[in-house]
Structure 1
Amino acid sequence: MKDLLLIAVFALGGATCAGALGAVVLRLLRHRSVAVSLTVVAAVTVTAMLAGTLAVAQAMFLSSHDLTVVTLVVAMAAAVSLATALLLGRWVVARSHDLTLAARDFGDGGSFAVPAVPATAELALLSRELAATSAKLAASRERERALETSRRELVAWISHDLRTPLAGLRAMSEALEDGVAADPARYHRQIGAEVERLNSMVGDLFELSRIHAGALTLTPTRMSVYDLVGDALSGADPLAHAHGVRLVGDDVEPVPVEVDGKEMTRVLANLLVNAIRHTPADGTVAIAAERRAHAVVLSVTDGCGGIPDEELPRVFDTGWRGTAARTPPAGAGLGLAIVRGIVEAHDGRADVRNVPGGCRFEVTLPAPTG
């Protein structure tokens, strides 16, 4: 027992010296290739075994022949270990190089393609994470391109919509100033109408800028959907009467919601105005509200004839006004974008889908708890 303990001490001492030396070498080579590190680890393993063996052999006074045999066995093991470490290191380096090239294409604005050659579990996990990140960035770039397109369209449409009333205002003011206006009272009324139109456009732009900047402050209170719909119908009734459109609000359940009354009234008003403008005379615009599971759904159904399927995903984009047939005589296509912004600020969702004879806009709001 004493001999075994002595052998263990000598073996541990020799192996510890070799391990300490290997740790120093690994620290010096920590910035080198993984193949070099694997080779050092294999060399440390064999050297630790050889050092321990030699220490035990010296302490036990082995014959030179026995010592030569032991050293030869260790040397063969060292050769095989080093060769295996080199092959493994080169394989890992090759897989890392493939991953680097794929990541480089990813960084240059392309999409990440997982290398076809099998890799280690860690490299495979890294490849999957890079592929997932690539998909997220591609979606983000697509959204950025869509937003940039919307901004360009918005600037073009706003410029056009501002130029027309401004030109009319200039012409009418010059006619009034020169005293050549046949009906000054009518000119004054028209100037007032154009100023109100411009004021509405500027107000929509300001509201949209607050939404995009995250500066929209909500003051939610518990109220009945019935009251919200009633206020919205009262506000839209004159416009509906002028267009010869019937407003229907019979399918409204008096369910409670917790919303900012002012902002949500604006949402319903925008939806009703949009529906009235796109519904032909003698048509019907219906507003409804119901409780579904853990949500409250408000809907506005018009008689516009439907929206092309390819345009449905863009309905709530900033500046969208659809085809020429759906382009209103006033406005810059901000109403539905404001609707989506306000609804999302309430943790809700705004959707649109075609129904027979028209389309239905739905606002889904979380139902209040308690």
Structure 2
Amino acid sequence: MAGWTAAPPSCESGDHDPELLLRMLCHEFRTPVVALAALTRALADERGPLTPDDRRELAALARDQADHLQQVLRQVVAASTGALDPAAAPEPTVPLGRILPQVAALVPAERLRAGTTRRAGACPVPARRTRQVLLNLVQNALRHGPPDGVVGVFAALRGPGLTILVTDEGADPEPVVEALRRPAPGAGLSGLGLWIVRRLLAVDGGRVTARGLRPRGVGVEVVLPVTRPAGPPPAGGPVGG
């Protein structure tokens, strides 16, 4: 099935409607809360001993998710002034490799397949927007794929862009394709995360496509324009299991 590319959502499509703002904020609270719950359960789990390095890594991931939640809370405070607009404040950049472990933490280790090339991991990306995009896509894959299905997160430099692919083992890509077609979010929280993804990517000139995979599965691909770093690739290996 051919992929469908989302056009950037208009900033005049009711973004500052109070009901829409409330739904957006409720949606964006969900992912960091789920991630924090999973990380704290892992820290408290006594069935398998954790090494000091494991505990430090889990604590660092929990801190990152807490920081993300604080950013969402700041959006709540500022929403009435229009500061929920993703372009309202300057966005610091970080290497993509700094964000991927935060995203992977949402997925149980036995269900995760992830990897990035070294150059892709070193690519600078807008920190908050990219993290929010990937958290929404992974959470979407977890909700709509099979309960025990594998979720994939892969990144590579291809042509002029940074490509990030999130996959699940769902049977039908049409709900995702349909959600990406909507010029405005539907009622409730259904499809809202994909609408937010489009809105965030539009700020950076990115795009998102959805397609069916063979023999089975759904892939959502994000492409961000990047300036390739000069010089040899940085040290380090692929991310993920």
TM-score by length of 2: 0.54
Does residue 1:232 correspond to 2:103, yes or no?
yes
Amino acid at match of 1:304: G
The CA distance in 2 between the partners of 1:216 and 1:285, in whole Å, is 32
Contact 2:165 2:220 in 1 (8 A): yes
Between 279-288 and 343-352, report the one with greater CA deviation: 343-352
2:5 matched residue in structure 1: none
Identity %: 25
Amino acid at match of 1:350: V
Contact 1:275 1:301 in 2 (8 A): yes
The CA distance in 1 between the partners of 2:192 and 2:137, in whole Å, is 11
Where do 1:203-282 residues align within 5 Å? 206=76, 210=83, 212=85, 214-221=87-94, 223=95, 225-233=96-104, 235-237=105-107, 240=108, 246-250=111-115, 252-255=116-119, 256-282=122-148
2:201 matched residue in structure 1: 343
Q: CA deviation at 1:218?
A: 1.0
C-alpha deviations, 1:171-229, integer Å up to 9, x for none? xxxxxxxxxxxxxxxxxxxxxxxxxxxx99x85984996454741431124x2x33322
**Which of the pair is proportionally richer in helix?**
1
Does residue 1:297 correspond to 2:167, yes or no?
no
The CA distance in 2 between the partners of 1:283 and 1:204, in whole Å, is 35
- Is the partner of 2:123 in helix, strand or coil? strand
Where do 1:26-45 residues align within 5 Å? none
**Rg larger for:** 1
The CA distance in 2 between the partners of 1:353 and 1:347, in whole Å, is 21
- Is the partner of 1:347 in helix, strand or coil? coil
Q: CA RMSD in A?
A: 4.2
Of 199, 205, 211, the match for 1:353: 211
Amino acid at match of 2:220: F
Q: CA deviation at 1:279?
A: 1.3
Gap change, CA 1:210 and 1:315, over 3 Å in 2: farther
TM-score by length of 1: 0.37
The CA distance in 2 between the partners of 1:214 and 1:305, in whole Å, is 35
C-alpha deviations, 1:23-72, integer Å up to 9, x for none? xxxxxxxxxxxxxxxxxxxxxxxxxxxxxxxxxxxxxxxxxxxxxxxxxx
Q: CA deviation at 1:257?
A: 1.8
Amino acid at match of 1:268: L
Number of matched pairs: 172
1:9 matched residue in structure 2: none
The CA distance in 1 between the partners of 2:155 and 2:183, in whole Å, is 21
- Per chain length, whose mean CA-contact separation is higher, i.e. which structure has more relative contact order (CA < 8 Å, sep 6+)? 2
Q: CA deviation at 1:249?
A: 0.4
1:364 matched residue in structure 2: 223
The CA distance in 1 between the partners of 2:163 and 2:188, in whole Å, is 25
Amino acid at match of 1:318: P
Q: CA deviation at 1:232?
A: 1.4
Gap change, CA 1:321 and 1:360, over 3 Å in 2: farther
Amino acid at match of 1:253: T
**Which of the pair is proportionally richer in strand?**
2
- Is the partner of 2:173 in helix, strand or coil? coil
The CA distance in 2 between the partners of 1:294 and 1:230, in whole Å, is 24
- Is the partner of 2:221 in helix, strand or coil? strand
2:181 matched residue in structure 1: 314
Contact 1:204 1:334 in 2 (8 A): no
Between 208-217 and 270-279, report the one with greater CA deviation: 208-217
- Is the partner of 2:205 in helix, strand or coil? coil
Amino acid at match of 2:159: A
Contact 1:218 1:260 in 2 (8 A): yes
Contact 1:211 1:341 in 2 (8 A): no
Q: CA deviation at 1:154?
A: 4.8
